[in-house]
A = this chain, B = another copy of it.
Amino acid sequence: MNLQQTIRNIKNLDEMAMTAARARQESLTKPSGSLGRLEDISVQLAGILGQPVPSVRRKTIILAAGDHGVAAEGVSAYPQEVTGQMVLNFLHGGAGINVLARHAGAEVIVVDAGVASELPSDAALRCAKVRNGATGNIARGPAMSREEAVKLLECGIVLAEEQASRGADLIGTGDMGIANTTPSSAIVAVMTGHPPEKVVGRGTGLARKAWLHKVQIVRQAIETNRPDSSDALGVLAGVGGFEIALLAGVMLGTAARRRAVVLDGFISGAAALIAHGLCPAIQPYFLAAHLSAEPGHRLTMAHLRLKPLLDLNLRLGEGTGAALAMGLIEAAARCLAEMATFGEAGVSEKT
């Protein structure tokens, strides 16, 4: 699907459905507002899906993996081959996201958006490669061309449309890519206007020296590529990553099909900044799953005016936070649909 057409297809939420959902919330057997954010979520879902009493049919996590040339700068504690090894782990069902998706009743779609190591062929693995090998090293030049970025965005759109057509009402985003907090930090710094030292996380036990080095690499990536925050596609091509591009496309495709985007943590947040830069109207389609332990994520959430549902100090990625939050989002929809009204239950209202 064409990127520009998809962006044009992202419309406002359905106000009539939201008004009806709000009215139904007031009729249910509980004090007004006592289900807190669950009530807000049910109303938002009504507006997204265009249903006064929204129901969640399928839940899908689109998990994109990609490698990063900037790994050569020594910004990650793990070797680059871990990206491909983890893709196999995803396909075999042994990773955190597999467990949490099973628990949530969600399906995981694993996408090779540009893994550097060779992967054995597997019918369950979706291939969305635009290049063999990792992105360009953003500390020395652009991650990819604008054309490659558009191709990946459009692959993400196609995947989202496919899942929407299969009945997925919640589409979560997940990432895997050794060193991908570095391009994500660069995107967050550019798009939110905060300096790299405020965005880059120290991680657990990331020594001061390693932290200073990572900040320096992010700064160098920005100085080298000179991304302009008003040109989100340029930011993505300059300092982004393959899986980040694909996920930004998933978000646009999901919103264009009026489904809810369940954002995972820091990397998904960076992709959301790109999607939002390309199409600000996407904002109400976002549900932020959790607040990542990465400090730049808080800045991302503030920029996107999103309040994460969970704050559990997660920093694994893969869509793990999104899978956990899907349980809460579905619970919110079920309360609106399944609770009895005061009238039905014969319960007295406020005096």
Q: Is A120 an interface residue (CB 8 A)?
A: no
A35 on the B face (CB < 8 A) = yes
A311 and B314 contact, CB distance less than 8 A:
no
A63 to chain B, nearest CB (A): 14
Number of interface residues of A (CB under 8 A): 58
Q: Are B351 and A79 in touch, CB under 8 angstroms?
A: yes
Question: Which among A131-139, A213-221, A320-328 touches the partner chain?
Answer: A320-328
At the interface with chain B, which of A7-15, A191-199, A250-258, A330-338?
A330-338
Contacts of A328 in B (CB 8 A): 310, 312, 324, 327
* A33 interfacial contact with B, CB 8 Å: yes
Q: Which of A30, A81, A315, A351 has the most CB of B within 10 A?
A: A30
| Cα separation A228 to B3 with both chains bound (whole Å) | 69
**How many subunits of this chain does the assembly comprise?**
2
Cβ distance A197 to chain B, nearest Cβ, rounded Å = 22
A86 B36 Cβ-Cβ under 8 A = no
Residue of B nearest to A346 (CB): B85
Provide the bound-state CA to CA distance between A85 and B99, in Å.
40
With A89-B340, A314-B36 known as contacts, the answer to whether A78 contacts B348 (CB < 8 A) is yes
Q: A99-B339, A311-B311 are in contact. Are A347 and B316 (CB under 8 A)?
A: no
**CB contact between A316 and one of B30, B78, B204 (< 8 Å): that residue:** B30
Does B345 contact A89, Cβ atoms closer than 8 Å?
Answer: yes
> Is there a chain B Cβ closer than 8 Å to A34's Cβ?
yes
Q: Which one of B34, B102, B312, B335 lies within 8 Å of A37 (CB-CB)? A: B312
- A124 proximal to B (CB < 8 A): no
The answer to whether A309 has its CB under 8 Å from any CB of chain B is yes
A88 to B347, CA, bound (A): 9
Q: Is A280 an interface residue (CB 8 A)?
A: no
Q: Tell me the chain A residues, 31-89 only, with Cβ under 8 Å from chain B.
A: 31-38, 77-79, 81-82, 85-86, 88-89
Q: Are B311 and A350 in contact (CB under 8 A)?
A: no
Residues in B with CB closer than 8 Å to A98 are 338-339
**How far, in whole Å, are A330 and B348 apart by their CA atoms in the complex?**
36
A95 within 8 A of B: yes
| Bound-state Cα–Cα, A231 to B315, Å | 44
Interface status of A167 (Cβ within 8 A of chain B): no
Q: Is residue A92 within 8 Å, beta carbon to beta carbon, of the partner chain? A: yes
The answer on a CB contact under 8 Å between B89 and A313 is: no
Q: Which chain A residues in 270-325 approach chain B with CB under 8 Å?
A: 293, 309-316, 320, 324
Q: Are A79 and B345 in contact (CB under 8 A)?
A: no
- On whether the beta carbons of A340 and B30 are closer than 8 Å, the reply is no
**Are B348 and A96 closer than 8 Å at their CB atoms?**
no
Q: A100-B335, A313-B36, A331-B324 are in contact. Are A350 and B77 (CB under 8 A)?
A: yes
Closest B residue, CB atoms, query A292: B36
Nearest-Cβ distance from residue A351 to partner chain B, whole angstroms = 6
Could you say which of B36, B316, B338, B344 contacts A315, with CB atoms under 8 Å apart? B36
Please list the 5 inter-chain residue pairs (A to B) with the smallest Cβ-Cβ separation, ordered nearest first.
A94-B340, A36-B313, A34-B316, A37-B312, A85-B347
Told that A89-B345, A95-B339, A312-B328 touch, could you supply 12 new A-B pairs with CB distance under 8 A? Answer: A29-B86, A31-B77, A31-B204, A35-B316, A36-B293, A88-B346, A89-B340, A94-B344, A98-B338, A103-B327, A103-B334, A310-B310
